């Protein structure tokens, strides 16, 4: 082999070696723009019924905890601290956080869904989610059913949340019911949005059947007799509806 061929081969080997080193270091080196966080992307898992957290709420939580990542060096951002801080909030069931090479911090949220605000005779004031978990007041009003009366935390968790979930499963009842009231014997009264009457549901069992029977009565009875004819409607017992007329 002539000397010039050897020189060409050696030169090519050197060029290829330099290229491979450059390529490996370039591809593994983060882009300059990723050295500083440029955006926070918050994704909140859809729930039914809908929850109350927004992207702004999540960002405010991070700001209050001095963990807002925008503008900070990416290697100074602790996804563990962000995750733990968000997960500690009563309105959040699960939080996940990760960083991207594009300089973004991505946050995924599964929130708790308050279905009741309990304002008990004992003075207790708290929210309950659709799984029966107690939630401290978030600091602002949530548009949920208000439950008053003789309510213990155990009753709210084991019984009353089931009533609320049955109500929220129907778009009609979701719009119609504004308040539940629990009497000393554990029976439940329901206050509708439309109609000047109280509905007695009785013990918090078989609520789906009771609401179905009541809806039929609304459509076939009250539509004829008038929504304000009765002061009290009871669906406590199976196969019957008992109405009490208003006093004139």
In tens, the pLDDT along 40-82 reads 999 998 776 667 788 988 999 999 999 999 999 999 999 999 9
CATH number of the domain within which 94 lies:
3.10.20.310
CATH number of the domain within which 230 lies:
3.40.50.11690
37 with 107, same domain?
Answer: yes
Residue 27 in any domain: the answer is no
105 with 124, same domain?
Answer: no
Say if residue 141's pLDDT is above 70: no
d(CA 175, CA 62): 34
Residue 168 in any domain: the answer is yes
What is the pLDDT, as a whole number, of residue 7? 57
Q: Which of 65, 85, 111 is the last residue of a domain?
A: 111
Residue 130 backbone dihedrals phi, psi, to 5 degrees = -70, -10
> What's the pLDDT band for 227 if we cut at 50, 70, 90?
confident
118 with 175, same domain?
Answer: yes
Residue 150 in any domain: the answer is yes
149 with 188, same domain?
Answer: yes
Residue 18 in any domain: the answer is no
Residue 106 in any domain: the answer is yes
**Total domain count for the chain?**
2
DSSP letter for each residue of the chain? --HHHHHHHHHHHHHHHHHHHHHHHHHHSPPGGGGB--EEEEEE---SS--S--HHHHHHHHHHTT---TTSBGGG--HHHHHHHHHTSTTEEEEEEEE-TTSEEEEEEEE--EEEEEEETTS-EEEEETTS-EE---SS----EEEEES--HHHIIIIIHHHHHHHHTSHHHHHHEEEEEE-TTS-EEEEESSSS-EEEEESSSSHHHHHHHHHHHIIIIIHHH-TTSEEEEE--STT--EEEEPP-
For 107, the domain range is 32-111
> What's the pLDDT band for 35 if we cut at 50, 70, 90?
confident
d(CA 104, CA 29): 16
162 with 185, same domain?
Answer: yes
- Do residues 39 and 70 touch, judged by C-beta distance below 8 A? yes
Residue whose tokens read 């209050």: 64
What is the pLDDT, as a whole number, of residue 30? 46
Say if residue 153's pLDDT is above 70: yes
125 with 205, same domain?
Answer: yes
- Do residues 192 and 230 touch, judged by C-beta distance below 8 A? no
128 with 148, same domain?
Answer: yes
Residue whose tokens read 């090519």: 12
86 with 137, same domain?
Answer: no
37 with 87, same domain?
Answer: yes
Is the peptide bond preceding residue 49 cis, with omega within 30 degrees of 0?
yes
157 with 175, same domain?
Answer: yes
140 with 95, same domain?
Answer: no
Cα Dmax for the chain: 121
Residues 6+ apart with CB under 8 A from 40: 59, 62, 68, 69, 70, 104, 105, 106, 107
Residue 20 in any domain: the answer is no
d(CA 131, CA 101): 38
Residue 154 in any domain: the answer is yes
In tens, the pLDDT along 154-199 reads 999 999 999 999 999 999 999 999 999 999 999 999 999 988 889 9
Residue 72 in any domain: the answer is yes
Q: Which of 54, 83, 111 is the last residue of a domain?
A: 111
- This prediction's pTM: 0.71
130 with 223, same domain?
Answer: yes
Q: Which of 55, 89, 111 is the last residue of a domain?
A: 111
């Amino acid at each position: 082999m002539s000397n010039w061929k050897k020189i060409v081969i050696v030169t090519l080997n050197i060029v290829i070696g330099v290229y491979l080193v450059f390529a490996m270091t370039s591809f593994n080196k983060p882009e300059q723009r990723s050295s500083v966080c440029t955006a926070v992307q918050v994704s909140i898992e859809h729930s039914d019924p809908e929850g109350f957290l927004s992207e702004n709420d999540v960002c405010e939580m991070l700001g209050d905890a001095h963990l807002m990542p925008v503008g900070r060096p990416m290697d100074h951002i602790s996804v563990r601290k962000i995750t733990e801080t968000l997960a500690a909030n009563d309105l959040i069931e699960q939080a996940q956080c990760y960083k991207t090479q594009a300089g973004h911090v991505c946050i995924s949220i599964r929130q708790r869904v308050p279905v009741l605000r309990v304002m008990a005779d004992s003075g207790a004031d708290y929210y309950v989610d659709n799984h029966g978990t107690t939630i401290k007041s978030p600091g602002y009003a949530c548009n949920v059913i208000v439950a008053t009366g003789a309510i213990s935390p155990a009753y709210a968790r084991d019984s009353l949340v089931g009533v609320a979930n049955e109500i929220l499963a129907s778009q009609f009842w979701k719009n119609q019911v504004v308040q539940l009231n629990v009497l000393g014997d554990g029976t439940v009264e329901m206050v509708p949005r439309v109609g000047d009457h109280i509905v007695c549901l009785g013990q918090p069992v078989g609520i789906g059947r009771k609401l179905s029977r009541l809806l039929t009565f609304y459509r076939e009875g009250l539509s004829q007799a008038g929504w304000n004819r009765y002061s009290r409607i009871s669906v406590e017992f199976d196969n019957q509806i008992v109405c009490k007329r208003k006093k004139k």
